[in-house]
Amino acid sequence: MSHSNKAEAYLQFMSSRLSLRDRAGLPSLDPLEERLLEMVALAAEPGERLSVTEVITTSELGSPTTLHGRLTSLRAKGLVQLAYNDDASRRQLQLTTAGMSYLDVLAKCMVAAAK
């Protein structure tokens, strides 16, 4: 079966992502952890931060208990950290340097697959 150019590029991206992540020594993430990391990264782009409460009340992703567990896992893997707003009442999530490195690896894979 022949794949379209776009499908080939996507398959190349998936393959190189797994290979490069392993070689770069980055932690393995399950699909929910990847989605949560993406949410934190996308919120950070315009200079915002998601609160822990905002994330765990996103019911379409899973139960609050499941989401809290995955956030704890992302923190343990060093990809996100907690930050506090001025009055320290809301715990907010931000990417760590390791979290940015993880996204850099994905970006390299996308660029290589697009060539």
* Burial tier of 60 (Cβ tally within 10 Å: 0-12, 13-18, 19+): exposed
Angle between helices 64-76 and 31-44 (to 10 degrees): 80
pTM to 2 decimal places = 0.81
91: phi then psi, degrees, rounded to nearest 5: -80, 130
Q: Which pairs with CB-CB distance under 8 Å and at least 24 residues apart come from 9-16?
A: 9/113, 9/114, 10/113, 12/112, 12/113, 13/109, 13/110, 13/112, 13/113, 16/109, 16/112, 16/113
Q: Residue 1: what pLDDT? A: 43
Q: Residue 20: what pLDDT? A: 67
Residue ranges in the chain whose pLDDT is less than 70:
1-3, 20-21, 87-89
Q: Residue 55: what pLDDT? A: 87
Q: Residue 87: what pLDDT? A: 64
- What CATH fold (topology level) applies to the domain 29-109? Arc Repressor Mutant, subunit A (1.10.10)
Q: Residue 89: what pLDDT? A: 66
Percentage of the chain lying above the pLDDT 70 cut:
90
